[in-house]
Structure 1
């Protein structure tokens, strides 16, 4: 991918809006931007547009380098436009807690609302019930994440598929028992949990069938009453609802991230486009909230694309998944700005998946107020090219990072105010 660099000089410490004037693209595109070689996240280019908003930056006087990965080879930048302004417009306003949530779910959302812009929660995804990432982080930092991510990938019947690789089999077996571990994390340790679901295609395929390329499962057909696809789709939804009911009955709130990254289309639930994704999201929402009364779920919309927007009364938090280059701890500010624009500045936002953890100093310097970060499992923790031990130590001992060790005290402080 071709990279273009533009240098500019700032003379006054102010807020600035950045725009690109460019040649039009024949399809929606997105790409990554770097300021002074730090990862500033994702920007999007609507089809046919020639003037695109990048985001807002609070800049000090000095010389800056703006680098962009060109979304297409024939894409040409005409100019970088920088407009001064007196105050930030990238703040959450008019946030409302969705009605009919359990008291504990409301309490967690109230806590998240109150820490917004003041702290960031340390999160860690664990693909297996054992979660060796937690012990590894604690060994080097002396602390645990406050938020632990779990996956429901092993909980539906069609996980045994053709041509399974050892990696897939080990992943499925290791994932079993995640519900019990999630209960332990919440009840015994007092932590927060988030759940995603790598949904193995209900009618199977090859190897990891949550990937579009490994299954011919047709979501369009699955949304038609009475088809075999529909019957197995509903079967899986009911099974997961029963599992989530266990957590509801224990009054454990869940940060629930369903149908993640649908806009990328690499998962079957996004392969048939935004309208079918929205129908599936709505079906899932209706069954979970109306039939099963899963009022402990805090819903996270995680398909940050203007054509894939979900109605705002159907989710509580917007999330973006962004993987910066290994060892780049930039603040992802443009990804943060993008989420705010897509939600009209009315939703709390989170970095729901990442590789390198953004440097907390940079997050607060550039006012990228994500609620939490969430490195993916495995190498993103164990391989120092992604996150070094020294970086983990800095992050987990930062005064504005919430770990399991200070979660209880901060919860009491903010909710007793």
Structure 2
């Protein structure tokens, strides 16, 4: 994106500065200077941009990150609603980065960069240029597993029928038992239940006993052990949809929660090398989880399978050695689960918005990312949607794998941000009233755009007539 005479350009130093200041330290800025990045909680930069007519606009920001500052992150708010995050490591001077397409009514609108974590980017100016209306439709695709079960194909047909039209409600729970506090709370507040229930397989591998276990780790392991039974009940007794993630305890052990990189010395490149002990342990864990997934298969329970999540963050061991080993592990898992174990009940959900980590268009069914907006901010998260959508060139179904605050359905519709489903993370993200307040929870669960458990059809046979 280059600055042109047809663009609407507002200099950062013309905005309202809260805890930040205009400086001239780094050459290459335009205007009278640039705004130094946020550093303290509450720091923010606000600019007003006047839009001449209704329509979609491409929002660009010209910014810089000095060497040595690490990753810099600001929440991007448009008229107060979170559209994602401006994130960057060091840059070579000022760069222009497209953020996302935004629908504006004619008039004045406020763009805000709010301190998120670490430091914020140094901002030179903001730009708007007319954009095409984002596309919602998708051409039908087949599952990457040609031998997918009938019920799995039925779920796939149902998901395809809803993309761009409605969002499917989802909720994760740390507990493997029914009922769970998150679901009880949603029922109490809204009178309804989510259509998708998220479970974790963290307690089903061999090396879950670790050194220096915290009480929370021990509780997680104990509560999680009923996940398979509850997942079967969720589908077969309640007609609900199941998604599974896997906080994979490192096969060679470590301390406390060894899925965290900092708590284990597990070396993925070595583990991907045949005839090493680490490779044997890696395969043994996959086989143990495959046996649990077979129980779901044999009970005719399709699974939205989301392994190796958030790898690009590197805080989990499967992402600690960069994208190539992670992609190799993804392919190994797919081959072993599909061809050796005949797990034909899995819909494979990739979970990262970063291009370098993407295994390939033909190697995933659904692409997703995990985004946590500031508490009680219900923006549509348009920027991460666009980033995930770009991985396969706008050809895939896109889901919000994890979230805190639930995006507002009216904002999703207005911004044409068609998340296929969302899955609010468990515990305090739903029951403390901070991430999504009760009034907003009631709005979501009663909104005609949102599919709740009671609205699900016989999805295992969807499109089979």
* TM-score where L is the length of structure 1: 0.94
Matched, 1:408 2:449: no
| Structure having the higher Rg | 2
Which of 110, 128, 138 is equivalent to 2:175?
128
Matched, 1:104 2:151: yes
- After superposition, the C-alpha distances for 1:176-204 in whole angstroms (9 at most, x for unaligned) are 11000000001111010000000011111
What does residue 12 of structure 2 align with?
none
Distance in 2 between residues matched to 1:100 and 1:30, nearest whole Å: 43
What does residue 217 of structure 2 align with?
168
Matched, 1:17 2:66: no
CA shift at 1:78, angstroms? Answer: 2.7
- Residues 25, 371 of structure 1: CA spacing in aligned structure 2 closer, same or farther, 3 A cutoff? farther
Aligned residues: 415
Which of 286, 289, 295 is equivalent to 1:240?
289
Structure 1 window deviating more from structure 2 (109-118 vs 141-150): it is 109-118
Q: Which SS does the other structure have where 2:56 is aligned?
A: strand
What does residue 210 of structure 1 align with?
259
CA shift at 1:95, angstroms? Answer: 4.6
Q: Which SS does the other structure have where 1:200 is aligned?
A: coil
Which of 186, 206, 215 is equivalent to 1:137?
186
What does residue 105 of structure 2 align with?
60
Distance in 1 between residues matched to 2:461 and 2:231, nearest whole Å: 25
Distance in 1 between residues matched to 2:336 and 2:248, nearest whole Å: 17
2:71 touches 2:118 (CA, 8 Å); kept in 1?
A: no
Q: Which SS does the other structure have where 2:152 is aligned?
A: helix
Distance in 2 between residues matched to 1:30 and 1:275, nearest whole Å: 25
What does residue 181 of structure 1 align with?
230
What does residue 341 of structure 2 align with?
292
- After superposition, the C-alpha distances for 1:185-227 in whole angstroms (9 at most, x for unaligned) are 0111101000000001111111011111111111111111122
Q: Which SS does the other structure have where 1:374 is aligned?
A: strand
Matched, 1:78 2:124: yes
- Residues 90, 340 of structure 1: CA spacing in aligned structure 2 closer, same or farther, 3 A cutoff? farther
2:58 touches 2:100 (CA, 8 Å); kept in 1?
A: yes
CA shift at 1:255, angstroms? Answer: 0.2
Distance in 2 between residues matched to 1:164 and 1:28, nearest whole Å: 30
Distance in 1 between residues matched to 2:310 and 2:137, nearest whole Å: 23
What does residue 313 of structure 2 align with?
264
Distance in 2 between residues matched to 1:263 and 1:207, nearest whole Å: 22
- Residues 104, 143 of structure 1: CA spacing in aligned structure 2 closer, same or farther, 3 A cutoff? same
What does residue 161 of structure 2 align with?
114
Unaligned runs of 5+ in 1: none
Q: Which SS does the other structure have where 2:289 is aligned?
A: helix
Q: Which SS does the other structure have where 2:370 is aligned?
A: strand
What does residue 225 of structure 1 align with?
274
What does residue 304 of structure 2 align with?
255
CA shift at 1:29, angstroms? Answer: 6.3
2:71 touches 2:119 (CA, 8 Å); kept in 1?
A: no
CA shift at 1:6, angstroms? Answer: 2.2
1:114 touches 1:414 (CA, 8 Å); kept in 2?
A: no
1:43 touches 1:334 (CA, 8 Å); kept in 2?
A: no
CA shift at 1:43, angstroms? Answer: 4.5
CA shift at 1:321, angstroms? Answer: 0.5
CA shift at 1:69, angstroms? Answer: 4.5
Give the aligned CA root-mean-square deviation in angstroms: 2.2
* TM-score where L is the length of structure 2: 0.84
Structure 1 window deviating more from structure 2 (6-15 vs 181-190): it is 6-15
1:143 touches 1:404 (CA, 8 Å); kept in 2?
A: yes
CA shift at 1:30, angstroms? Answer: 5.8
1:318 touches 1:350 (CA, 8 Å); kept in 2?
A: yes
| Larger relative contact order (CA 8 Å, sep ≥ 6) | 1
Matched, 1:345 2:394: yes
